[in-house]
Amino acid sequence: MAESRGKSPSRGPNRPSAGDRGRGHSRTTVSSAGGARRRRGRAPAETAVDLSPSRYIVKVDRETGAELPDEIEPAELLVHAHRDHHPVEIAAQFLASRLVRVTGNEALVKKGLKTLDRLGARAASTVADLSGDPADEGRVKRLLGVTARDVLFRFRETTHLTEKEVKKRVGALQKDARDRLRAQGRHPRMRVLLTGGTGFLGKEILAQAASHPHVEEVVSVVRPQAVRDRRTKKVLRVLTPRQRGAKLLKQLHITGKAARRFRFIKGDIEKPGFGISAAELAKLKKSLTHVVHCAASVSFDDTYENSFRANVLGSRNALAFSNALQSTPGSPFVAHVAIETSYIHGRRKRSIAQEDALVFPRHFYNNYYELTKAMASIETDRALIEDGLRVTQLLPSIVIGHSRTGNNRGDTKVLNAPVNAFGRAKEAMDSLGGTWPDRARGWLVGLIATTFPADRSAELNLVPVDRVATGILAALGTPEAIGARIHLATDNRIRSEEIVRVAGEELGVGVRMADPTLTRNLTLPVVKAVLTAMGEERLAGVLEKLGTIFGVYGEWGQPIHDVGNDVRILGLPIQRPDTSAAFRMLCRHNHHVQAFGRVRDGDEIARRERLWEETIDAIEFESGRQVASLRAKEFRRVLAERIELRSFVRR
C-alpha cells in the first residue's frame, strides 16, 4: 500500500530552503513540433518550453531527507502511478472501501491499512533476518504488496523570507492597492481585462459585470474559433474574436448601454503578452485597473504538455502581463486576480486543505489538470513575493450551474458529464428494441453508464457558478484579498450516496454505486473487451473515459477544503448555497434544458435558459416555495403545465 509524505504546512507562500530554487532542476524542454496532439484552434508554438515539474517540485530521499537530482516524470505525481500494481494491494483497497461503508469511520480504516503495511514490512524483514539474505526483504515485500516508497515529493518553496517579512511585503502591496482604489473616490471605475470570457465561468462573470456598479469596462481576450461540420470535422468558417463577442453578448441578453461596457480583442494566453498588438497594449496600459485570469484547460484527461501549456505557461504569461501594467509609470493598475482550483491540494486523506498553505499532497494528484493548476499557483506565489505583484488567488471547488436555476450556458464538463450519461443511458434503456445483439449492446451500455464508481461516504465539494463569479467581482474591490488564497467552496459538501439518490429521483434512473477499485480493475476492462469484440471500440473508449476520469472523485478520502476567507475577506454571505438543492437543479436543468447535452447550439441554449429562469420565477412566485424544495414529481407536473417540453416553448 502506497505511502509518501509531504512537508508540514507553512502559512503563506511556500518558502525555499537556501539555494532551493533551480537546484537539481533537470530541464525537460519540448519544442514546438514535439509532444502531444494539439487541441482545437491552437496555433503551433514557436518557442521551446521548459516543461519539467522540477521547477516546482523536488524529489527527496525519504530516509536521509536529501534532495535527489533525478528527473521527475509527470506521471509519477499522479494517483494512478501509485496503485493497482499488486493483487494484494487491490484487495486491500477494495476491503478498505467496504469497511468505510460498514463502519463509516475513515480514520479507523486508514489506521488499519497502515498497520497492515507495517506488519507486512516487519514480516519481510524477519524473513530476511532468518534467511540471512537481505534481498529477501524486497522479495517478500513485493509478494505481500508492501509498496512503501523510498522517495517523497515536496514543493519547492518560493521565498527565503521569514513569515514576518512576507507579511510586511503583502501589507505594503495591500496598502498600494487600497490607495489606488481610494484615489478613485467612493465609486471606483474598474476596467478589467478578462481571459476565459467564452468559458463556463467567464460567461457568468460577464453576465454579472453587466450590472456591476463599479465595472466600467471589460476587455475580453479571446482566440478565433473554427466552426466545424459536426460529422466531417471540416472547418466551415472561422469566427473572429469580435464576432464571438457579439454572439456571446446576444446569448447573455446584454444589449444597449450595458453592451458598450464590453470589448473583445484577439489574444492567446499561451503567447507572451497574450500576443496582443502593440497599439492595443499601449492603450490598455493606460486604462486597465484589473486583470482576471480565468482561461485554462479544464480537462481531466488531457496530456501533461497540453495542461502545462494552457495552465502554467498561460498563468505565467498572465502574471507577466500584469507585472508590465503595474510597472508602467502612470498606470491605474490595481491588482491581478488568478482563478485557480481548490483541487490544487490534490488527494490528502489525513488533513484539511488549508486555504493559505500549499503542501504536496500525500496521495498525489488525480490528473494533470490539478497538478498544473498547483504549479500555476506556485508561479503566482513567486510573482507576489519576488516581483511584488499585487495578486489575489481565488480557488473554486467543483463549479456547477446557477444555485437557483441550474443554468450553465451549455457547459457539459465535470459533474455534468456523469449526469448526462445517466440520463442518456436511461433513455436508451427505455427504448431498447431491434435485434438481439442491439438489445444486448444497449443493455450493457446502459448498465455501465448508470453505474457510479464511488464510495458512499465520498464527499464532493460543489459550488454554484453565481457564487464563484460574485466572489471574483468582490475581489476586485478588496485590497485585503491581495496575497491570500481564498477557497470559493462550500461547507455543506455532498456525499456520493446523496448524488445517487437525487439523480435517481430527478432522472428516474436507478444509478448503482460500484466499488471504484473493482470498477477500475475488473468491470471496466471486461466491458471494454466485450464492447471491442462487438466492434464498438469508440463506445468502449467513451465508457472507459467516463469511469476512469470521474471514478477518482468518488473515492473515499477526498480532501476537505477549508473555507472562511470567502466570508471574512471577500464579504460573501456566510450562508453558502445549499449544495444538495443546487445539484437537484443541475439534474432538472440538464434533463429539460440541455436534453442531457444534446442541445448544443449556443443561441438555442440561451433561449431555453431564459424561459427556464422565467418559469422558475413564476413557479416560485405562485407557490411561495423555492423550486428546489418541490418533489421531483410535483416539479415535473408544474413544469409541464407551463412549458411544452418537447419543443421547449411556453404553453
Ligand X SMILES: NC(=O)c1ccc[n+]([C@@H]2O[C@H](COP(=O)([O-])OP(=O)(O)OC[C@H]3O[C@@H](n4cnc5c(N)ncnc54)[C@H](OP(=O)(O)O)[C@@H]3O)[C@@H](O)[C@H]2O)c1
At 512, give phi and psi (nearest 5°): -100, 140
- Candidates 3, 106, 157, 268: give the one binding ligand X (CB under 6 A): 268
> Closest CB to ligand X among 156 and 561?
561
- Lay out the site mask for ligand X across 516-535 (x = CB under 6 A, - = otherwise): --------------------
Task: Give the type of residue at 184.
Answer: Q
Q: What is the sign of the dihedral through the CA atoms of 557, 562, 566 and 572?
A: positive
Nearest-approach distance from CB 261 to ligand X, in angstroms = 18
Residue number, nearest CB to ligand X: 199
- Lay out the site mask for ligand X across 283-322 (x = CB under 6 A, - = otherwise): -----------xxxxx-----------x------------
Footprint on residues 69-128 left by ligand X (CB under 6 A): none
Instruction: Please list the residues that pair with 220 across neighbouring strands.
Output: 194, 264
Nearest-approach distance from CB 57 to ligand X, in angstroms = 19
Nearest-approach distance from CB 114 to ligand X, in angstroms = 31
Determine, following the binding rule CB under 6 A, whether residue 199 of this chain makes contact with ligand X: yes
Task: Give the type of residue at 377.
Answer: S
- Candidates 3, 89, 157, 270: give the one binding ligand X (CB under 6 A): 270
Nearest-approach distance from CB 264 to ligand X, in angstroms = 11
**d(C-alpha 357, C-alpha 125), whole Å:** 37
> Closest CB to ligand X among 172 and 281?
281
Is there a contact between 431 and 443 (Cβ–Cβ < 8 Å)?
Answer: no
Footprint on residues 329-348 left by ligand X (CB under 6 A): 339, 341
> Closest CB to ligand X among 226 and 595?
226
Footprint on residues 406-445 left by ligand X (CB under 6 A): 413-414
DSSP letters of 154-218?
A: EEPPS-SS-HHHHHHHHHHHHHHHHHHHHTT-SS--EEEEEE-TTSHHHHHHHHHHTT-TTEEEE
- Alpha-helical regions (H) of 431-487: 436-449, 465-476
**d(C-alpha 221, C-alpha 245), whole Å:** 10
Nearest-approach distance from CB 590 to ligand X, in angstroms = 15
> Closest CB to ligand X among 120 and 199?
199
> Closest CB to ligand X among 190 and 194?
194
Determine, following the binding rule CB under 6 A, whether residue 200 of this chain makes contact with ligand X: yes
Footprint on residues 345-404 left by ligand X (CB under 6 A): 373, 396, 398-399
> Closest CB to ligand X among 524 and 606?
606
Nearest-approach distance from CB 604 to ligand X, in angstroms = 18
- Candidates 49, 96, 269, 627: give the one binding ligand X (CB under 6 A): 269
Q: Which residues contact residue 177 at a Cβ distance below 8 angstroms, ignoring those fewer than 6 apart?
A: 334, 335, 390, 479, 482
Distances (CA, A) of 264 to 210, 215, 254, 320: 14, 16, 14, 21
> Closest CB to ligand X among 22 and 41?
41
- Candidates 202, 245, 410, 483: give the one binding ligand X (CB under 6 A): 202
Decide: residue 273, CB within 10 A, 0-12 exposed, 13-18 middle, 19+ buried.
middle
> Closest CB to ligand X among 156 and 467?
467
What 3-state class would DSSP assign to 649? strand
Q: Provide the 10 A C-beta neighbour count for residue 93.
A: 22
Q: What is the sign of the dihedral through the CA atoms of 102, 104, 106 and 108?
A: negative
> Closest CB to ligand X among 90 and 358?
358
Nearest-approach distance from CB 358 to ligand X, in angstroms = 15
Pick from 558, 452, 444: which is nearest to 503 by CA?
Answer: 452
Task: Give the type of residue at 213.
Answer: P
Nearest-approach distance from CB 341 to ligand X, in angstroms = 4
> Closest CB to ligand X among 270 and 466?
270
Nearest-approach distance from CB 52 to ligand X, in angstroms = 21
Instruction: Give the largest CA-CA distance in the chain.
Output: 85
Pick from 182, 299, 275: which is nearest to 224 by CA?
Answer: 275
**d(C-alpha 487, C-alpha 33), whole Å:** 38
Nearest-approach distance from CB 266 to ligand X, in angstroms = 10
Footprint on residues 214-233 left by ligand X (CB under 6 A): 223, 225
Pull the grid cell for residue 571: 464579504
Counting residues that bind ligand X (by CB under 6 A) gives 26
**d(C-alpha 448, C-alpha 413), whole Å:** 19
> Closest CB to ligand X among 300 and 635?
300
Q: Which stretch binds ligand X (CB under 6 A): 195-203, 234-242, 440-448, 534-542?
A: 195-203
Determine, following the binding rule CB under 6 A, whether residue 276 of this chain makes contact with ligand X: no
What is the binding site for ligand X (CB under 6 A)? 195-196, 198-202, 223, 225, 268-270, 294-298, 310, 339, 341, 373, 396, 398-399, 413-414
